[in-house]
């Protein structure tokens, strides 16, 4: 690649291009959550019931987990920015089909296309984000990209719900399509490929075998498992916040959206803080954060019927739940690589956590009540801690961390040698 198309050196601060990547994530997340906010309108418009509309959420998540890695793999030899534009186009097709859907099967097709594209975008965007900055800034870059996820929860869902309820559910998907086009235009104008082909991870010179080889590394598999459990713990409670807050805590339905808005603000704050800690204190951040999440979940389960305490513990879950994403991503990159395929596979395991938390939580409610999913979350968080602990003394992490320079760490067991992409 010529120097004319790549920056001479990586940024020591988070550049505007990384914020543009977050805009793309915002578009993806807004589309993902739109169905949840428009269930009544979709049920009426598609001539079906709430359970079937609920399955559209599961279908999107399953498409992310199953379809994202193959799509990323198919683009492994395409320059990263070009790959992003292809994924934008696929995602746009999915949303246009959703806007034009005249029946349930057509909407299912739209969710499958959008879900697979969404997961691929997350993986490529995170990979590009960390490769556009100095290695000391990788955790912060991941946090910036993931701000698109937090803002999608905080602003995207209310926006899609407002537009869809005011102008018809089709208009929500047309609006998301417009946001997608804007994000794609900004990406084309402002995001440039990483500095060298070796670091791009999707260049024609990349070894497909070396990308897949990381899947056999024990610490990489443990990192995937811990991410699944951390997110599963959070979503086992988050998925049922609305019925818990109304039926047990006693808040009115009218105030719940405001409470969820405050929760979203807590996740945004926590994401920024974890992003600043993730580079030098990766494992300790995961252990302390997940431990605090377990405590807040336990407090939420015990004091659910006391509104002030329930609110405090719920906000604690917001601060220490999904906000572990930057530290989880840094751990994955140490144990595996910064390549897009690795980050996409990681995203699929995060999505698996969402599916486990919500599905198992749903299964527990009929027998044990609405507190059961919160207790499930405590158990998953404790399991996550157990899976993270071996990283404190791992000789594997002492030897190296895959493609890309490893990140500094607070523990000797995490100090890494030179990159070993072709091990």
* 418 is a domain residue: no
If pLDDT is split at 50, 70 and 90, which confidence band does 423 have? very low
Collapsed DSSP state (helix, strand, coil) of residue 133? strand
Mean pLDDT for 110-118 is: 95
pTM above 0.85, yes or no: no
Domain boundary among 169, 188, 206: 206
Given a contact cutoff of 8 angstroms between Cβ atoms, the answer to whether 117 and 94 are in contact is yes
Assess whether pLDDT exceeds 90 at residue 355. Answer: no
Domain count, the chain: 2
Q: Is pLDDT larger for residue 58 or for residue 163? A: 163
Q: Which of 147-156, 205-214, 305-314 has the highest mean pLDDT?
A: 305-314
Structural domain harbouring 394: 213-412
* 422 is a domain residue: no
Tell which residue, 346, 332, 324, has the closest CA to residue 403. Answer: 332
* 84 is a domain residue: yes
Show the CA angle centred on residue 304, arms to residues 301 and 310, nearest 5°.
105
* 103 is a domain residue: yes
* 267 is a domain residue: yes
CATH number for the domain including 290?
1.20.1250.20
Task: For residues 354 and 372, state if they share a domain.
Answer: yes
Give tens-digit pLDDT for 374-404: 999 999 999 999 999 998 876 444 333 333 3
Task: For residues 189 and 237, state if they share a domain.
Answer: no
* 222 is a domain residue: yes
Task: For residues 218 and 201, state if they share a domain.
Answer: no
Cα separations in angstroms, 161 against 39, 238, 241, 244, 372: 10, 19, 18, 21, 29
Task: For residues 112 and 251, state if they share a domain.
Answer: no
Task: For residues 223 and 199, state if they share a domain.
Answer: no
Task: For residues 198 and 265, state if they share a domain.
Answer: no
Task: For residues 288 and 364, state if they share a domain.
Answer: yes
What pLDDT does 38 receive? 83
Task: For residues 35 and 163, state if they share a domain.
Answer: yes
Task: For residues 154 and 290, state if they share a domain.
Answer: no
Task: For residues 195 and 251, state if they share a domain.
Answer: no
Task: For residues 139 and 225, state if they share a domain.
Answer: no
Mean pLDDT for 204-221 is: 68
Assess whether pLDDT exceeds 50 at residue 199. Answer: no
- Euclidean distance between CA atoms 351 and 66, whole angstroms: 10
Cα separations in angstroms, 281 against 251, 356, 414: 38, 28, 10
Domain boundary among 186, 206, 226: 206
Task: For residues 74 and 141, state if they share a domain.
Answer: yes
* 417 is a domain residue: no
If pLDDT is split at 50, 70 and 90, which confidence band does 286 have? very high
Domain boundary among 161, 186, 206: 206
Mean pLDDT for 353-361 is: 87
Give tens-digit pLDDT for 43-89: 889 988 877 887 887 889 889 989 999 998 899 888 989 999 999 99
């Amino acid at each position: 690649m010529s120097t004319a198309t790549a920056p001479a050196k990586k940024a020591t601060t988070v550049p505007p291009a990384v914020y543009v990547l977050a805009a793309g994530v915002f578009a993806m997340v807004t589309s993902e959550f739109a169905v949840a906010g428009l269930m009544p309108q979709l049920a009426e418009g598609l001539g079906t019931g709430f359970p079937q509309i609920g399955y559209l959420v599961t279908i999107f998540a399953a498409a992310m987990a199953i379809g994202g890695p193959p799509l990323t793999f198919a683009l492994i030899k395409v320059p990263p920015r070009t790959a992003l534009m292809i994924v934008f186009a696929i995602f746009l097709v999915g949303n246009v089909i959703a806007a034009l859907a005249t029946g349930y099967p057509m909407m299912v097709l739209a969710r499958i296309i959008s879900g697979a594209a969404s997961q691929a975008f997350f993986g490529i965007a995170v990979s590009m984000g960390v490769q556009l900055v100095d290695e000391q800034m990788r955790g912060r870059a991941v946090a910036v990209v993931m701000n698109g996820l937090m803002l999608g929860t905080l602003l995207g869902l209310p926006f899609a719900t407002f537009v869809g309820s005011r102008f018809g559910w089709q208009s929500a998907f047309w609006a998301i399509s417009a946001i997608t086009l804007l994000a794609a235009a900004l990406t084309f104008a402002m995001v440039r490929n990483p500095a060298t082909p070796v670091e791009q991870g999707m260049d024609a010179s990349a070894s497909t075998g070396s990308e897949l080889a990381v899947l056999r590394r024990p610490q990489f598999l443990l990192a995937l498992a811990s991410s699944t459990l951390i997110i599963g713990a959070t979503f086992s409670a988050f998925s049922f916040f609305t019925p818990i807050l109304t039926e047990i805590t006693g808040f009115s339905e009218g105030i719940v959206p405001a409470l969820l808005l405050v929760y979203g603000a807590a996740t945004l704050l926590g994401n920024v803080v974890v992003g600043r800690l993730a580079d030098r204190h990766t494992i300790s951040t995961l252990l302390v954060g997940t431990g605090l999440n377990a405590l807040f979940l336990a407090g939420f389960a015990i004091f659910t019927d006391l509104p002030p305490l329930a609110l405090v513990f719920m906000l604690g879950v917001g601060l220490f739940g999904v906000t572990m994403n930057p530290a989880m991503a840094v751990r994955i990159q140490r144990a595996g690589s910064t390549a897009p395929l690795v980050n996409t596979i990681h995203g699929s395991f995060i999505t698996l956590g969402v599916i486990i938390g919500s599905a198992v939580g749903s299964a527990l409610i009929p027998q044990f009540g609405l507190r059961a999913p919160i207790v499930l979350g405590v158990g998953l968080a404790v399991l996550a801690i157990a899976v993270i602990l071996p990283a404190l003394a791992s000789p594997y992490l002492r030897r190296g961390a895959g493609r890309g320079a490893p990140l500094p760490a607070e523990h000797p067991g995490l100090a890494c040698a030179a990159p070993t992409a072709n091990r």
